């Protein structure tokens, strides 16, 4: 009924889809940096979308299962995932027998991966969510990253998982799976481009700064974390007097620019309000790519109209609904 | 009232243009708009959060589309509804209630307020006088943010204003009372911080098991009550 951490990895936390509803108390919604990836992995294992799984940063995690489970992982940062000697591709359901070990090897590309385990990680919810809030020190397991010998309680299997386990008992890895771009957003190597819409303070920046922002590559700095990816590139100068702004809300995806001119792309654990100018916002459907930005990676930004951001999101959600129907036919 | 996008899934409603003229009035107007928006229960809304002069409306664009918004004008459609809700005449049911008054016990100086002497030097007052003036005033919570339960308090006596520390501390103990610029605030959890620490409260400002988890709310009136270090050690809520 549990999974034991043999090797804790670099930064592994329990995450779910986050805890919206407490921003007014200064609590960031948090949750998986790529909530879409965790949701898809959960769907594949027969879990509720909101079940808690593991967020694995840069691989190197080893787990041992005490009973049989169905698992699936999505994302990047763990090119090789093995169950015993069996390789498990991203976006596929897999049977894990009691006593078996699952291993996330060193990351080859990308930064973060999400592992769903059937039944979900059953730690007590805090403020309506099991997500680990590292800064607040609550949620998940004692509000902290996993350590060796931690034992994570697992929940009960859904009816669909029970059928799935029977059908995978002999074949182990399912032949069907998630769309490749959902399973592993960085699967096809290419230059990473994040699409943005303009932020409220776009016009506070010089035309040279805007041109640089939309044409130059930015490198992810090593001091990036779940709060934000710090970007090294041309300093983005403001064209107004650079006066202090009144603090107002920010959100995951916001690109804010501190006085030094090096932008910060905010991620799931960002503050709820901030006082730096908001240059742009990465669109929701590109947050899975943003979640894969690791130290040393390069990123470009491209502007799209707001209507396109909404159209792409609607399209994705329609595809998720179809995928859900498809899954129900497999088990 | 200006409404601007905060990405594709949130709108920022600028209730007031300026804060400086009358911060307390700005706060009251923001809180009134917040109450109206809460009562309006706009389609697809996930949560509302207020800051000094603004309210952010977080929503699910797909649910807004399902509620009838045109595909190429989700923000405009929702923005119209926000504007209508905020400019609506006050419904007595959502009319302003008298703000709460919350007393926060503070032990000033010593190990609990390592920067009290610096603030005294900077202001030309004695440490005792800094503490007296800080606890004599009445403050209001403009918003909660920076970290869970952290109140941004307006109403600091102007003579106690102080630029932020050149080097932020890596770790500030929970309950520390700080001065940063013209503001004062309380660190609810151990965290890094660049404000000058003049005292510490034994009160718990954030609890993950309470709803709401933050002791203070936007709009609250706050008074600091000076206590001794003995009272600090034996304080029970």
Pick the CATH number of A193-312 from 2.40.100.10, 3.40.50.2300, 3.40.50.720, 2.60.40.1180: 2.40.100.10
Q: Do A23 and B149 touch (CB under 8 A)?
A: no
DSSP strand pairing (A193-198 vs A298-303): parallel
B54 touches chain A (CB under 8 A): yes
Per-residue pLDDT, B192: 85
Tell me what pLDDT residue A190 has.
58
Return left, alpha or beta for A230; rule: phi > 0 is left, psi -120 to 50 is alpha, else beta. Answer: beta
Q: What is the mean pLDDT of residues A264-283?
A: 96
* Tens-place pLDDT, residues B95-136: 667 889 999 999 999 999 999 999 999 999 999 999 999 999
Distance between CA atoms of A196 and A281, rounded to whole angstroms? Answer: 5
Residues paired with residue A53 on neighbouring β-strands, in sequence order: A15
Residue B90: pLDDT above 80? no
Give the H or E element holding residue A82. strand A81-83
Q: What is the mean pLDDT of chain A?
A: 94
Judge: B152–A247 Cβ closer than 8 Å, yes or no.
Answer: yes
DSSP β-bridge partners for residue B179: B184, B196
Q: Count how many Cα atoms sit within 13 Å of the Cα of residue A153 in the half-sphere of its side chain.
A: 9
| pLDDT given at position B236 | 83
CATH number of B101-234: 2.40.100.10
* Domain edges within chain A: 2-185, 193-312
Percent pLDDT > 90 in chain A is 85
Sheet with B54-59: list strands edge to edge: B2-5, B10-14, B54-59, B45-50
User: Is the CB of B214 less than 8 angstroms away from the CB of A26?
Assistant: yes
Rounded to the nearest 5 percent, the helix, strand and coil shares of chain A are 20, 30, 45
A vs B: CB pairs below 8 A:
151
Give residue limits of the domains in chain B: 2-94, 101-234
- Pick the residue from chain A with its C-alpha nearest to B56: A249
Give me the mean pLDDT over the B221-232 stretch.
Answer: 96
Going by pLDDT thresholds of 50, 70 and 90, the confidence category of residue A330 is: confident
Q: Report how far residue B43's alpha carbon sits from residue B27's, in angstroms, rounded to the nearest whole number.
A: 26
Q: A42 Cβ partners below 8 Å, 6+ apart?
A: A48, A49, A50, A51, A53, A116, A120
Q: Which residue of B has its CA nearest to A273?
A: B145
Nearest chain A residue to B211, by CA: A127
Q: pTM higher than 0.90 for the full model?
A: yes
- Could you tell me the CA-to-CA distances from A181 to A74, A76, A147, B132 in Å, in that order? 10, 11, 31, 62
Least confident of A76-85, A274-283, A310-319: A76-85
Output the CATH code of domain B2-94: 3.30.1360.40
For residues A149 and A187, the answer to whether their CB atoms sit within 8 Å is no
ipTM of the modeled complex: 0.96
Q: Tell me the DSSP string of chain B.
A: -EEEESSTTEEEEE--S-SSS-HHHHHHHHHHHHHHHHHHT-TTEEEEEE-SSEEEEEE-HHHHHHTT--TT-HHHHHHHHHHHHHHSPPPGGGS--PPPEEEEEEEESGGG-TTHHHHHHHHTS-HHHHHHHHHHSEEEEEEE-SSTT-EEEE---GGG-BPPPSS-EEEE-TTEEEEEBTEEEE--SSEEE-SEEEEE--S--B-TTSSSSBSS-TT-EEEEEE--HHHHHH---
Least CB–CB distance from B8: residue in A24, A273, A309: A309
User: A200 and B152 in contact by Cβ < 8 A?
Assistant: no
Cα–Cα distances in angstroms (integers) from residue B213 to residues A28, B149, B176, B207, B209, in the given order: 12, 7, 18, 5, 7
B195 lies within 8 A of chain A by CB: no
**Does residue A53 sit in helix, strand or coil?**
strand
Q: Which fold has domain A2-185?
A: Jelly Rolls (2.60.120)
Rounded Cα distance between B41 and B82, Å, is: 10
Name the residue among A16, A56, A28, A51 with its Cα closest to residue A292.
A56
Is A258 touching B (CB cutoff 8 A)?
no
Report d(CA A114, CA A74) in Å as an integer: 5
Q: Choosing among B145, B182, B218, which should be mutated to test the A contact, i.e. which has the most A CBs within 10 A?
A: B145
Q: How confident is the model at residue B38 (pLDDT cuts 50, 70, 90)?
A: very high
Whether the predicted pLDDT of A191 surpasses 80: no
Question: Cβ of A248 and B61 within 8 Å?
Answer: no
B220, β-bridge pairs: none
Side-chain half-sphere exposure of B104, counting CA atoms within 13 A:
34
pLDDT tens, residue by residue, A84-127:
999 999 999 999 999 999 999 877 778 999 999 999 999 999 99
- Four-residue CA torsion sign, A202, A206, A207, A209: negative
Peptide bond into B212 cis (omega under 30): yes
Q: Do the domains at B2-94 and B101-234 have one common CATH topology?
A: no
């Amino acid at each position: 009924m549990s999974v034991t951490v043999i090797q804790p990895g670099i930064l592994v936390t329990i995450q779910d889809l986050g805890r919206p509803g407490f921003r007014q108390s200064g609590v960031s919604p948090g949750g998986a940096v790529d909530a879409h990836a965790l949701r898809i992995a959960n769907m594949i294992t027969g879990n509720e979308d909101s079940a808690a799984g593991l967020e694995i940063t840069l691989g190197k995690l080893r787990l041992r299962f005490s009973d049989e489970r169905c698992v699936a992982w999505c994302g990047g940062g763990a090119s090789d995932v093995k169950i015993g000697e069996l390789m498990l591709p991203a976006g596929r359901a897999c049977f894990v027998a009691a006593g078996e070990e699952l291993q996330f090897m060193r990351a080859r590309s990308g930064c973060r991966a999400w592992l769903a385990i059937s039944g979900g990680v059953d730690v007590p919810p805090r403020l309506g969510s099991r997500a680990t809030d590292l800064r607040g020190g609550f949620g998940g397991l004692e509000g902290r990253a996993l350590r060796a010998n931690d034992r994570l309680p697992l929940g009960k299997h859904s009816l669909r998982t029970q059928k799935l386990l029977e059908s995978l008992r002999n074949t182990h890895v399912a032949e069907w799976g998630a769309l490749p771009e959902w399973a592993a957003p960085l699967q096809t190597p290419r230059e990473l481009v994040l699409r943005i819409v303009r932020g409220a303070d776009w016009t506070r920046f010089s035309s040279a700064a805007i041109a640089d922002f939309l044409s130059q590559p930015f490198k992810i700095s090593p001091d990036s974390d779940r709060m934000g990816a710090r970007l090294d590139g041309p300093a983005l100068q403001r064209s107004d007097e650079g006066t202090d702004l009144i603090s107002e809300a920010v959100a995951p995806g916001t690109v804010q620019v501190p006085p030094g001119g090096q932008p910060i792309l905010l991620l799931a654990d960002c503050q709820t309000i901030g006082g730096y100018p908001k240059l742009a916002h990465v669109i929701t459907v590109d947050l899975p790519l943003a979640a894969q930005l690791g130290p040393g990676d390069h990123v470009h930004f491209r502007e799209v109209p707001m209507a396109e951001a909404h159209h792409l999101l609607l399209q994705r959600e329609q595809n998720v609904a179809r995928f859900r129907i498809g899954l129900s036919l497999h088990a | 009232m200006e409404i601007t996008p905060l990405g594709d899934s949130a709108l920022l409603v600028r209730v007031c243009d300026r804060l400086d003229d009358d911060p307390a009035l700005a706060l009251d107007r923001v809180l009134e708009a917040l109450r109206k928006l809460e009562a309006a229960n706009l389609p697809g809304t996930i949560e509302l959060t207020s800051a000094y002069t603004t309210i952010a409306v977080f929503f699910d664009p797909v649910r807004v589309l399902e509620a009838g918004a045109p595909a190429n004008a989700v923000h405009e459609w929702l923005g119209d509804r926000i504007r209508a809700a905020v400019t609506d005449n006050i419904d007595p049911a959502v009319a302003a209630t008298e703000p709460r008054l919350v007393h926060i016990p503070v032990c000033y100086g010593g190990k609990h307020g390592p920067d009290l002497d610096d603030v005294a030097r900077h202001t030309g007052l004695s440490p005792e006088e800094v503490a007296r003036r800080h606890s004599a005033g009445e403050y209001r919570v403009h918003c909660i943010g920076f970290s869970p339960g952290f109140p941004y308090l307006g109403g600091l006596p102007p003579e106690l204003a102080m630029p932020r520390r050149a080097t932020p501390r890596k770790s500030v103990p929970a309950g520390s009372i700080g001065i940063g610029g013209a503001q004062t605030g309380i660190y609810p959890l151990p965290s890094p911080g660049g404000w000058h620490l003049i005292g510490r409260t034994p009160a718990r400002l954030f609890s993950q098991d309470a709803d709401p988890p933050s002791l203070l709310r936007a709009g609250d009136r706050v008074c600091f009550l000076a206590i001794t270090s003995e009272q600090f050690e034996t304080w029970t809520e």
